[in-house]
Amino acid sequence: MIKLDKKTKDQLIDLYKTKKIALEGNILKLIDPDGDVELENYLKETTDKDKDTRRKRLEVTRKVQTQNNDLIKWKEENEKIQLELKESLEQTENSMREMEFLKEEADKARSEAERLKEEAENARLEAEIARQEAINAKNVAEGDLELMQKKTQFELIGTIVRVALWVILGVGGVTTIMYILALTAGLDTTVIGSTWSNIIGILLTNAFSIVGTIMGVKYASEKKD
C-alpha cells in the first residue's frame, strides 16, 4: 500500500476540487488513507468517478464497436450490391449485344426475303413473258398451219378442176373429132349427132356438178373451222 504525506494529499484534494482532475486507474486501490476521512472521501469519489468514467468509456467503446460492426455490415452489403450491380450491368451489356446481333440477323433475313421476293417477281414476269411468247408462237403456228391447209386445199381444188376440165375437154374433143370424121365420110350422122349432143350435155353437166361440189365442200369446211 502507498501512504501519502500531507502535502501530497492536500495537493491531490485541491487539484480535484479546483480543476476536477483526479487520479484514475488501479493506483487508487494502492493508496492507504491511513484513517484520514478527507482522503477516504477523495478516494471514494475518485474511485466512483473512475468507475463511471470506465463505464462510459466502455459504453462508448461498445457503441463504437457496434457502429464499426454496422459499418462493416454496411460495407459488405454495399460490396454485395455493387457486385450485383456489376453483374446486372454485365448481363445488360450481354443482352444489348444479343439484341444487336438479333437485329443484324433480322436485317439480313429481311434483306434476303426482299431479294427472294424480287427474284420470285422477276421469275413470275419471265414466266408470264414466256407464256405470252408461247401463246404468240401457238397463234403463229396455228395461222401458218391454217394458211398451209388453205393453200393445200386451194392447190388440190385447182388440180381437181384442171383434171376435170382436161377430161371434159378431152372427151368433148374426141367426140367432136369423131362427129366431124363421120360428116366428112358421108356417113349417117343422126345417131352420132344425137350421141354427140348427149355427151356434150353430160360433160357440161358433170363439169358444173364437179365445180359446184368442190365449192360446196370448201365453203362447208371453212364454216366448220
Instruction: Indicate the average pLDDT of the chain.
Output: 78
Task: Identify whether 151 is part of a domain.
Answer: yes
Q: What would the mean pLDDT of 75-91 be, rounded to a whole number?
A: 88
Task: Identify whether 104 is part of a domain.
Answer: no
| Domain membership of residue 200 as a residue range | 147-224
Q: What is the pLDDT of residue 34?
A: 65
Angle, alpha carbons 217-220-225 (nearest 5°)? 125
Task: Identify whether 140 is part of a domain.
Answer: no
Q: In this model, does residue 224 exceed pLDDT 60?
A: no
The whole-angstrom separation of Cα 33 and Cα 44 is 10
Distances 89 to 75, 76, 81, 102 between C-alpha atoms, Å: 20, 19, 12, 19
Is the Cα dihedral 133, 134, 139, 143 positive or negative?
A: positive
DSSP 32: E
Task: Identify whether 163 is part of a domain.
Answer: yes
The three cell numbers locating residue 44: 471514494
Helix H or strand E segment including 35: none
Q: Report the largest interatomic distance among the alpha carbons of the chain, rounded to a whole angstrom.
A: 219
CA nearest to 178, candidates 202, 163, 199: 199
Q: What is the pLDDT of residue 3?
A: 67
- Report residue 79's pLDDT band, with 50, 70 and 90 as the boundaries: confident
- Report residue 68's pLDDT band, with 50, 70 and 90 as the boundaries: confident
Number of domains composing the chain:
2
Which of the listed residues 85, 109, 134 is the one where a domain comes to its end?
85
The whole-angstrom distance between residue 37's C-alpha and the CA centroid of its chain comes to 105
Count Cβ atoms within 10 A of the Cβ of residue 207 and give its class: 0-12 exposed, 13-18 middle, 19 or more buried: middle
Task: Identify whether 108 is part of a domain.
Answer: no
Q: What would the mean pLDDT of 99-120 be, rounded to a whole number?
A: 90
Whole-model pTM?
A: 0.34
Q: In this model, does residue 99 exceed pLDDT 80?
A: yes
